[in-house]
Amino acid sequence: MTIVRPFNTYGPRQSARAIIPTIITQLLSGKKEIALGSLTPTRDFNFVKDTAAGFMALGGCEQAIGQEVNIATGREISIGQLAEELIRQIAPDAKIICDEQRLRPKNSEVNRLLGNADKLKALTGWQPAYTFEQGLALTVEWLRGNMDKYKADQYNL
């Protein structure tokens, strides 16, 4: 058995509770003020196809048996940087506002998640095939055609 630790996976069909569809659906619905909580926490975002490719690579790797392996990009992106990139791609005149109800309770926020995929790369040769910006663009494209499945005006917990 291999223990696989995928870091923050995003992409088409992601739950409305996640930050990326939350921002995208607000922007695609025409909002000019994007309501978010804290902008400083960082994440290591993996496009879903890269995460799946990591699992597939590990599934065929005998040397990975008994190992703990991260699927990560090694790139740390803040929620603020994420929002700025999505605003750039969708609605450059939109602004970010802090919504108090979206702030996590004191001591419950994970301020930093950054992975190291060196073991995965050494074992399988895996590399992310999509940049952060490319993955976001593909996610935006999918959501644009599926807005009926999301409620941009509702904060999903």
The answer to whether residue 142 is domain-embedded is yes
Domain assignment present for residue 112? The answer is yes
Domain assignment of residue 27, yes or no: yes
What's the predicted TM-score (pTM) here? 0.89
φ/ψ of 74, rounded to 5, equals 75, 15
Provide φ and ψ at 121, rounded to 5°. -65, -45
State the total domains in the chain.
1
Note whether residue 156 is domain-resident. Answer: no
Tens digit of each residue's pLDDT (9 = 90 or more) over 42-58: 999 999 999 999 999 99
pLDDT single digits (tens) 28-37: 999 999 988 8
In Å, what is the CA distance from 23 to each residue of 12, 61, 62?
A: 14, 37, 40
